[in-house]
Structures are given as structure tokens and as C-alpha cells.
């Protein structure tokens, strides 16, 4: 039904969608909420009108072109508000079979995901930008608008799975497996708006002619946004900073509200974080946020300084590549102190080398050779540098000439050498996703031309294995590594042993219709082993297991029923998780039968002479025949006392 539902809904949409006309107002006007039935083209509505929520997080990243951006929105909807959202979305499908019937279905959910971006594209972002000096309304704002092709929608728990009121969809056009619940359901849900895959923007505005190089103001109408956080990040622009900001109620600065904060990220971008809310019952009061930006340097600006935790001049900074970009360290955020934010900048004599920092202060190095020296300084947002420039050597510290798994599969032989330093202490272990081998420490030095490390594979599962560890040296930052040499630990099959009691492997029960076997099973790789026993054409898996020990009771009903003569062939098979097998075969003789397979009739001498029959022991075969008739249909699996 989903394609049909979408086509019918599309037919109700406006024939064309035009970009909003810029209005002569502080910002696009706010609404008090959903008034009556919501038009499917969503014109004039905001995110809050359709998705009433308890808390929302909005993140907006302005792209380097100063004309497009990426917005993410996550709204958490609890209790009664979740019922309102379900009712709003169900109302979008008025006139569509199964729509606007006070039930929200999985078909409607999928249609919302598909058609939702077209609806969102008609909505107002309530964000605007204006170049020039500080603005507080009554100007022609450069409004941000949503871009349909860049929008993706998702939800969590809109149609709760397995809800007690869940039913199959009532519409005859519903997809197979369609489920629906009443819109009055109050289970918590989430709504997600994010950037569509393979797109680079989902909002746009008229490109700022100055592209952030001079003063501009950003404004947002936050009327009816009851509780949210807005995180806005702007492109790298020399000297860009926040000059002034504040919340205004009906045009008057509200000094009681907590002002937004701003910070410079290590990659040079400027971020503004604002906690916004609108008190319930305050409508028609209009609340707006204004943030003024400038590139004018502040009256005072202290130069950044190296911190005590920064690497000293001449330090070696190890990297794991000789070509391309790699993360050198995640802890560079504490190297320099500056109230305006900073980043590490290095100049290289060698071509093809560079450094950069991401927004989380991770230091990335682009290499073009074995090593290079960079002259580095901490530089703040206004171009001020640390007085001291420090020389750091970037390069690889580990040389590898071999790495292989021994033929016996119990160790890795790793041949390594040092580089850039004369002596290197390496601590390493074999590593898998959830398992670690024993650590081994080796000093690698120029004096030793054959530096080998033997890494145990004990406890490792068969399959791919990597080498993980840390290399340390004087005058060098610690080098944490995870190395993949396409090493594979082979599988070693399990081993099965069987116990004997007074020289016998089988312990027979009274009546001689079943026997017990005990033993041990060991898998050298530490994997679980599944066990199976076969006898006289029947199989069983009812082994009792405790650590390495096992035991099993084996009835011979199938042997008697199929006229299989003693001794009976018993096959025990163990299979580990990687498919390795161990097979143990043994012959079990029924002590109730003589060498000719005839029943043994224990009669004393007096009976043979025709004496008193009262002393004759009854033959067990008669009782065996009776019991076999009762158990021939299956295995007796009860555990012996």
C-alpha cells in the first residue's frame, strides 16, 4: 500500500513549491500551534507545530560557501505529547484509505519517511541572517529554508511493536504485515531529521556577499519552543567572534535568561550554544534570539602560551604511515592555553607534510616519507602565536620485516626494528575484537640486529588476529598501535577421552539395558564443543557437562529392537565452534551375553541335577524383554543416581 499511499498524498500537495518570499518582519511569524486540520503542504508551519516534543536538540553547521548548511534535529516526545504527534501525523493522510482514522499504522510511518521531506521543505526554519551592523528586527531577513533533496526523516517507536492495542491494519489496501495502534497511545517516541546520504546540505540561504568577513547578525524566533538546545557552528574565518547576543521578549532584552556561549574549536571553527525555552501560557509574546558576529579584533588579546603538558622542543611524535593522513594523538587539546581558542600549526621544509586539528582536538598528520621536522606553534583565532616555536619530528618508529603465525598455531613470531630512536621499548599482545593474549615486553635497539617478539595465542579463537601494543622511548610521545598483518590463527580440533572403571569403559545399570560412559573433552582454542553419540542407528546429545568432564547414559533399546548383536559400536563426536571435529569409536560388550550372544543362565549344580527349583535365579532375559517393549520407542535419558 505504501506506494499507493504516497501517490495519493502527492496528489493532494500543492502543484509547485516555491522558495519563501522574504518578509518585512523581524522573522517569520510564529504560530500558536496546530489550528484545526493541518494542510498537507505544511506551508506556514514550523517543526514544533507538527512534532510537539518535550526536548529537542538542533545542530546547524554552516558550510564553507556561506550559502548552505547541514541541520540535524532530534526530538524526544514523552507521554501525552506522543499521542499528539501520532494524531498530527495521522491527520496528514486525510482522504487517503486508512488515513486520518485515529489509528497510526506502519504504512503511514513509511509514507511519512518518504513524503516527510516534502512537507518539511515547506516549513519555516525560523532562522535568518542579516549583514551589516547589529540588527534587532524590522529589516528584510535572509531566511534559511529547508532543502527537500537533502532531508531524511526517521523515528523510534512511532508505532510501538507488540503493543497490547496493536492490530492488523483495517484498510483493504494495506501492505501485508501492516500493523496499527490508536493515536491515543502514549508510549515515548523520538523524531529524527538529518542530512540525507550523499548530500552536503539540507538548508540554504542567500549567500552572504561578505562570506563572514565583516559584521552580520543571526536571529531565531523561538516562540513556542518550550525546551531545546541550539548548537551552531560556523566556518573557519580569521578573527570571527561573537560581539553581542541575547534573548528579547517582544523586543526587550531579557537579562534574566542565561546567555548563549561561544567557543573556538581546535579546527578553527566558531561554535555557539544556546539553551532556548518558551514558558507555557506566554503566547502571544514573541521571544527571539539575536547573535551579533564581527571579525574586528577585540581590544585586548593575549597570545597563546605552551602548557606544562606540551611536548618539549625536539620531541618525536610517532605516526603509523609514510604516506597519507593519520591520527597522531587525541590529547593535543592541553598543549596550549588561550582564551580565544587555538590550533597547532607547523611549517615543513619537506613537501607533502602538514598537520591539522579536528573539532575534538585530535591532531592529524599528513605524511610524505619516512619522517620530517615541523616548526610548530599554537595560533589563536586572531593570528596571535606562541612566542616559542618548537621543532617536532614526525615519523614512523616501528619497522617490520616479518610477522607470521607458527605452524603449531600457538604463537606469533614478530620481527621488528626501531626507527628515529636508538632504543625502543615495545609492549604488545595478540588481539581480537573481544580477546587479548598475554602481553610481552621487548627492548628493540640498534645493538640487536635480530629483534623478535613471540606473542602467545593462548585464549585466542581461530581466525584473524592483530597485534596491539605501545612503544615508548625517551624524548618521544607514546605510540599506541593496532597492526593488521593478515595473520590467521588456525583451528585446533578438540580432544575426547573416555574413562575406564576396572578396565571397562562402560558401566552397566541393573537389568543390563543401558550403560553409562564418562570422560573429558578439551578444546585447545577454548571454544565450546558440541557433542553427539551414535549407537545402533540412533543419535543422542543429552550429555551432562561440568567443565571438561562429561557423562551420558546410553540405552540399548535400539540395538535390541534392530537385532544388533553385541558388541555394540559407539561413536562419540565433538565439534568446536570453528567446525573442527574429534571422533572417538569404541566397542561395548553386553555382559548379559556369552561369546555366542546367547543369554547367560546362571543355574547352580543342584538345578542341573534336577533338584529343588526354588534355588534357581530367574533368567534376566525375561525381564529384559518386558522392559525393552516399554522403552523401544525412544531413549531412556534419565540420569543415573
Question: How do residues 242-255 score in pLDDT, each as one tens digit?
Answer: 999 999 999 999 99
The yes-or-no answer to whether 305-395 and 495-631 have a common fold is yes
Q: 397 near 469, Cβ under 8 Å?
A: no
Per-residue pLDDT of 231-241, as tens digits, reads 999 998 888 89
Whole-angstrom Cα distance, residue 243 to residue 260?
12
Selected residue with higher pLDDT from 95 and 109: 109
* Helix/strand/coil (H/E/C) assignment for every residue in 300-366: CCCCCEECCCCCCCCCEEECCCCEEEEEEECCHHHCEECCCCEEEEEEECCCCCEEEECCCCCEEEE
CB 271 within 8 A of CB 263: yes
Distance CA 124, CA 357 (A): 35
Answer whether residue 391 shows pLDDT above 90.
yes
Q: Is the pLDDT of residue 19 over 90?
A: no
8 Å CB contact between 357 and 377 = no
Overall average pLDDT of the 463-486 stretch: 93
Tell me what pLDDT residue 184 has: 95
Among 374, 373, 371, which Cα is nearest to 322's? Answer: 371
Domain edges within the chain: 2-19+45-294, 305-395, 398-489, 495-631
H/E element holding 75?
Answer: strand 68-77
For residues 298-307, give the mean pLDDT: 87
At 379, phi and psi to the nearest 5? -125, 130
At 15 the pLDDT is 31
Can you name the CATH fold of 398-489? Immunoglobulin-like (2.60.40)
Assigned CATH for 495-631: 2.60.40.10
Q: Enter the C-alpha cell of residue 62.
A: 554552516
Confidence of residue 459 (pLDDT cuts 50, 70, 90): confident
pLDDT at position 155 over 80 = yes
Q: What is the mean pLDDT of residues 314-331?
A: 92
pLDDT at 468 over 80: yes
Query: In which element (H, E) is residue 104 found?
Result: strand 103-105
Q: How many other C-beta atoms lie within 10 A of the C-beta of residue 166? A: 15
State the pLDDT at residue 39: 40
User: Which has more pLDDT, 24 or 386?
Assistant: 386
Q: Does residue 591 have a pLDDT over 80?
A: yes
Structure-block grid coordinates of residue 379 = 595560533
Give dist(CA 233, CA 61) in Å, integer: 5
**Residue 48: what pLDDT?**
83
Confidence check: pLDDT of 620 > 60: no
Predicted local confidence at residue 172, as pLDDT: 85
Q: Where is pLDDT greater, at 501 or 586?
A: 586
Q: What is the pLDDT of residue 596?
A: 45
Percent composition of the chain: helix, strand, coil (DSSP 3-state, to 5):
10, 40, 45
Rounded (10°) angle between helices 2-12 and 106-122:
30
- 172 CB neighbour count, 10 Å cutoff: 8
Cα-to-chain-centroid distance, residue 600: 69
Percent of the chain with pLDDT over 70: 85
The answer, yes or no, to whether residue 8 has pLDDT greater than 50, is: no
Give me the pLDDT at residue 624, please.
41
pLDDT band at 450 (very low <50, low <70, confident <90, very high): low
Burial classification of residue 427, based on how many CB atoms lie within 10 Å of its CB (0-12 exposed, 13-18 middle, 19 or more buried)? middle
| Residue that is written with C-alpha cell 526587550 in the block | 252
Closest C-alpha among 375, 387, 391 to residue 302: 387
Exposure b/e, 477-504, CB count within 10 A at least 16 = b: bebebebeeebebbbbbbebeeeeeeee
Q: If we measure between CA atoms, which residue out of 192, 42, 65 comes closest to residue 121?
A: 42
- 591 vs 568: CA distance, rounded Å: 12
Q: Count CB neighbours of 357 within 10 A.
A: 20
In this structure, which topology does domain 305-395 adopt according to CATH?
Immunoglobulin-like (2.60.40)
For residue 404, pLDDT beyond 60: yes
**Cβ pair 320, 365 in contact under 8 A:** no
Condensed to tens digits (0 to 9), the pLDDT of residues 507-565 reads 999 888 999 999 999 998 888 999 999 999 999 999 999 999 999 999 999 999 999 99
**What average pLDDT does range 173-187 have in this prediction?**
92
Neighbours of 454 (CB within 10 A): 12
* Arithmetic mean of pLDDT, 423-434: 91
- Considering only residues 532 and 503, tell me which one the structure prediction assigns the higher pLDDT: 532
CA distance 382 to 52: 42
Q: What is the pLDDT of residue 449?
A: 56
> In the prediction, which pLDDT does 426 show?
93
Q: Is 148 helix (H, G, I), strand (E, B) or coil?
A: helix
Q: What is the mean pLDDT of the chain?
A: 83
* pLDDT band at residue 69 using 50, 70 and 90 as cut-offs: very high
Whether 417 has a pLDDT exceeding 90, the answer reads no
Amino acid at each position: 500500500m505504501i506506494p499507493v499511499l504516497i501517490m495519493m498524498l502527492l496528489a493532494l500537495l500543492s502543484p509547485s513549491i516555491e522558495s519563501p518570499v522574504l518578509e518585512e518582519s523581524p522573522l517569520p511569524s510564529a504560530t500558536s500551534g496546530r489550528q484545526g486540520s493541518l494542510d498537507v503542504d505544511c506551508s506556514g508551519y514550523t517543526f514544533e507545530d507538527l512534532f510537539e516534543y518535550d526536548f529537542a536538540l538542533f545542530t546547524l553547521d554552516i558550510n564553507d560557501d556561506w550559502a548552505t548548511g547541514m541541520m540535524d534535529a532530534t526530538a524526544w516526545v514523552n507521554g501525552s505529547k506522543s499521542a499528539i504527534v501520532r494524531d498530527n501525523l495521522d491527520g496528514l493522510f486525510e482522504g487517503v484509505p486508512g488515513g486520518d482514522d485515529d489509528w497510526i499504522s506502519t504504512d503511514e510511518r513509511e509514507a511519512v519517511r518518504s513524503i516527510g521531506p516534502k512537507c518539511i521543505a515547506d516549513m519555516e526554519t525560523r532562522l535568518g541572517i542579516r549583514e551589516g551592523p547589529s540588527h534587532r528586527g524590522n529589516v528584510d531577513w535572509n531566511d534559511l529554508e529547508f532543502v527537500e533533496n537533502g532531508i531524511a526523516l526517521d523515528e523510534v517507536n512511532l508505532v510501538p511493536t507488540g503493543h497490547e492495542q496493536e492490530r492488523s491494519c483495517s484498510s483493504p489496501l494495506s501492505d501485508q504485515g501492516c500493523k496499527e495502534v490508536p493515536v491515543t497511545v502514549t508510549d515515548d517516541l523520538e523524531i529524527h531529521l538529518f542530512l540525507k546520504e550523499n548530500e552536503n546540505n539540507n538548508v540554504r540561504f542567500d549567500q552572504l556577499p561578505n562570506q563572514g568577513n565583516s559584521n552580520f547578525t543571526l536571529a531565531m524566533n523561538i516562540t513556542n519552543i518550550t525546551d531545546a538546545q541550539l548548537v551552531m557552528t560556523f566556518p573557519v574565518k580569521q578573527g570571527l567572534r561573537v560581539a553581542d547576543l541575547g534573548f528579547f521578549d517582544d523586543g526587550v532584552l531579557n537579562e534574566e535568561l542565561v546567555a548563549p556561549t561561544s567557543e573556538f574549536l581546535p579546527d578553527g571553527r566558531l561554535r555557539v550554544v544556546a539553551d532556548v525555552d518558551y514558558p507555557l501560557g506566554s503566547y502571544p509574546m514573541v521571544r527571539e534570539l539575536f547573535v551579533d558576529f564581527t571579525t574586528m579584533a577585540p581590544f585586548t588579546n593575549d597570545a597563546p602560551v605552551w602548557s606544562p603538558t606540551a611536548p618539549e622542543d625536539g620531541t618525536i611524535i610517532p605516526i603509523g604511515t609514510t604516506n597519507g593522513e593519520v591520527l597522531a594523538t587525541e590529547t593535543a587539546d592541553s598543549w596550549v592555553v588561550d582564551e580565544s581558542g587555538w590550533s597547532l600549526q607547523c611549517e615543513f621544509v619537506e613537501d607533502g607534510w602538514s598537520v591539522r586539528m579536528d573539532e575534538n582536538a585530535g591532531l592529524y598528520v599528513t605524511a610524505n616519507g619516512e619522517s620530517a621536522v615541523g616548526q610548530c606553534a599554537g595560533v589563536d583565532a586572531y593570528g596571535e602565536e606562541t612566542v616559542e616555536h618548537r621543532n617536532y619530528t614526525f615519523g614512523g618508529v616501528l619497522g617490520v620485516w616479518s610477522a607470521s603465525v607458527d605452524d603449531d598455531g600457538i604463537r606469533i613470531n614478530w620481527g621488528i626494528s626501531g626507527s628515529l630512536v636508538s632504543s625502543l621499548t615495545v609492549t604488545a599482545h595478540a588481539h581480537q575484537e573481544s580477546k587479548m593474549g598475554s602481553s610481552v615486553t621487548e627492548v628493540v635497539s640498534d645493538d640487536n640486529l635480530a629483534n623478535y617478539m613471540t606473542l602467545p595465542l593462548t585464549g585466542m579463537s581461530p581466525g584473524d588476529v592483530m597485534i596491539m601494543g605501545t612503544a615508548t622511548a625517551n624524548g618521544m610521545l607514546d605510540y599506541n598501535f593496532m597492526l593488521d598483518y593478515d595473520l590467521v590463527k588456525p583451528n585446533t580440533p578438540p580432544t575426547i577421552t573416555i574413562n575406564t572403571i576396572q578396565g571397562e569403559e562402560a558401566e552397566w545399570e541393573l537389568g543390563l539395558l543401558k550403560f553409562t560412559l564418562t570422560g573429558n573433552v578439551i578444546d585447545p582454542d577454548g571454544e565450546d564443543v558440541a557433542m553427539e553419540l551414535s549407537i545402533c542407528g540412533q543419535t543422542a546429545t543429552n550429555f551432562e557437562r561440568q567443565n571438561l568432564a562429561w557423562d551420558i547414559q546410553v540405552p540399548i533399546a535400539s540395538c535390541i529392537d534392530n537385532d544388533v548383536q553385541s558388541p555394540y559400536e559407539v561413536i562419540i563426536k565433538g565439534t568446536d565452534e570453528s567446525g573442527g571435529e574429534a571422533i572417538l569409536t569404541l566397542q561395548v560388550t553386553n555382559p548379559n551375553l556369552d561369546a555366542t550372544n546367547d543369554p547367560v543362565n546362571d543355574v547352580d549344580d543342584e538345578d542341573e541335577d534336577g533338584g529343588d527349583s526354588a534355588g534357581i535365579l530367574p533368567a534376566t532375559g525375561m525381564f529384559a524383554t518386558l522392559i525393552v517393549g516399554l522403552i523401544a520407542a525412544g531413549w531412556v535419558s534419565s540420569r543415573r543416581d
